Amino acid sequence: MKKPVIKVQKKEFAPIENNNSRRQFLKMGSLAVVGSGFLLSCSNDDDFTEPVDPEEVFDLGSGNLGILNYAYALEQLEADFYTKAVAGAYYTGLADDSEEKQIIRDAWYHEVIHREFFKAAISDVAPNDILPELEFDYGSIDFDNRDSVLSTALLLEDTGVSAYNGAGKLIDVTAPLGDVYLLLAGKIVSVEARHAAAFADLINPGTTAFARDGILVDLGGTGLSYDKALPPSEVIAAAGGFITTEFTANQLPTS
């Protein structure tokens, strides 16, 4: 099967130039994804999907398709969160050239790119079996408040890291494009980890919060030195509080 070339565009994403170290750290993560052999940008096209019966509860599916839909659900959540964050008073009140504002903006760009990648990748191989666009409710999260935005961003990015780590072993590399999906998952998780490290440092600057014990596990007696890997069931349960669109994951492994 020919590997797809995915091209999407979002014209409101203007180039931003800044050489500070934390933003370069994030940019390296985005370049890792772009360097995968796929051409990524962003699009608002809705031509990929066919109408879904509103009365039917969507199931993510099995095998690699199920994993792709699972990742697409998470990326929809992250992209939507940052889209709302950059419209809030906290973000808009930051100076345009501030490092903090640019880190949030970079994370927004990356997550929209990730979302559009999965939308296009699934549509290329299974246009009738793609997860529909989800709706979200952020409850008490205050997008006008710095602590509320940054703490939620960190929670989502940490969850994303554990989700990709847990999903990697479920990808069937013997199936068509399976090796490509595993490579891309590895590249995307590195971006999620960079986001998490950057937000942890914004919340607790000059500390080791970017690699705090709470997000690390011990493997084989080596000490707390590895990121967590969680199965889809645990990740969906954790992220599900924000997702109001009902879907199931009945065909994905529970552990």
User: What integer pLDDT is reported at residue 211 of this predicted model?
Assistant: 78
Q: Please indicate, yes or no, if residue 9 is contained in any of the structural domains.
A: no
User: What integer pLDDT is reported at residue 165 of this predicted model?
Assistant: 95
pLDDT < 70 positions in the chain: 1-55
Q: Please indicate, yes or no, if residue 149 is contained in any of the structural domains.
A: yes
User: What integer pLDDT is reported at residue 21 of this predicted model?
Assistant: 52
User: What integer pLDDT is reported at residue 164 of this predicted model?
Assistant: 97
User: What integer pLDDT is reported at residue 55 of this predicted model?
Assistant: 63
Give the integer Cα–Cα distance in Å for 231 and 166. 5
Q: Quick check: 103 and 22 in contact, CB under 8 A? A: yes
User: What integer pLDDT is reported at residue 140 of this predicted model?
Assistant: 93
Structural domain boundaries, residue 215: 21-48+61-248
Q: Quick check: 91 and 149 in contact, CB under 8 A? A: yes
Q: Please indicate, yes or no, if residue 3 is contained in any of the structural domains.
A: no
Q: Please indicate, yes or no, if residue 189 is contained in any of the structural domains.
A: yes
Q: Please indicate, yes or no, if residue 101 is contained in any of the structural domains.
A: yes
DSSP string across 5-40 = ------TT--------HHHHHHHHHHHHHHTTS---
User: What integer pLDDT is reported at residue 201 of this predicted model?
Assistant: 95
Angle, vertex CA 127, rays to CA 121 and CA 131, nearest 5: 80
The 8-class DSSP code of residue 214 comes to: G
pLDDT in tens, 217-238: 888 888 887 888 999 999 999 8
- Maximal CA-CA distance, the chain: 51
The tally of domains found in the chain comes to 1
pTM summary value: 0.80
Q: Please indicate, yes or no, if residue 10 is contained in any of the structural domains.
A: no
Q: Please indicate, yes or no, if residue 53 is contained in any of the structural domains.
A: no
User: What integer pLDDT is reported at residue 35 of this predicted model?
Assistant: 42
Q: Please indicate, yes or no, if residue 13 is contained in any of the structural domains.
A: no
List, in order, residues 6 or more apart from 23 with CB less than 8 Å away: 99, 102, 103, 106
Handedness of CA 12, 16, 21, 25 (dihedral sign): positive
